[in-house]
Each structure stands twice: as structure tokens, then as C-alpha cells.
Amino acid sequence: MNNNNLSTKISIREQDILGEVSNICMGTAASTLFTILNNRKVSITTPNVRVLGYEEVEEYFAKEAVVTATKSVEGVKDTNLQKN
């Protein structure tokens, strides 16, 4: 499946929602990490939502990374992969 087919399944609004949910999750994780690291600075950036097919994930995440898969059970019926 190519990006064009996937992009038509997820609207721009839905991509924005996924980005905002990811931003909230990353903010919570950064706050927790800040506490664990004894109040050392932790920086995060705004998530960039991209629609990828499964065959593109390995290429996109070629460098070492932590990838989080979030499968939606309502609304957007898809899986969200997030590089941390």
C-alpha cells in the first residue's frame, strides 16, 4: 500500500488529532523523565505526523529508535507509530 492510498484514509483533521494526542503523551513522558533525572532539563518538539505504509516503516526508522504503536479502537481505524 502506498502513501497516497493511506493518506486518503486519514484526513488532515484526524492527522492533527493524532499529533495533538502524541504531543500530550510526549509532554507527560517528558515531565516524568524530568523527575526521574532529578530535575535535569528535558526537551521535546512538536510531533510531525506522517502517514507510512508498513513497508516504509523500516526504511524511515533506519537509525536506532523507540517506536510506539498505538492502535485506535474507535474513530480513526488505524495504527499510529511514533518514534521517540
- pLDDT tens for residues 72-83? 677 766 665 555
Domain span at 55: 3-83
C-beta of residue 54 within 8 angstroms of C-beta of residue 67? no
Phi-psi region of 63 (alpha: psi -120 to 50; beta: other; left: phi over 0): beta
In the block, residue with C-alpha cell 480513526: 76
* Tally of domains within the chain: 1
Q: How far apart are alpha carbons 31 and 56 in whole angstroms?
A: 31
Residue 31's pLDDT is 92
pTM above 0.75, yes or no: no
Q: What is the DSSP letter of 12?
A: H
Residue 18's pLDDT is 85
Tell me if residue 69 falls in helix, strand or coil: strand
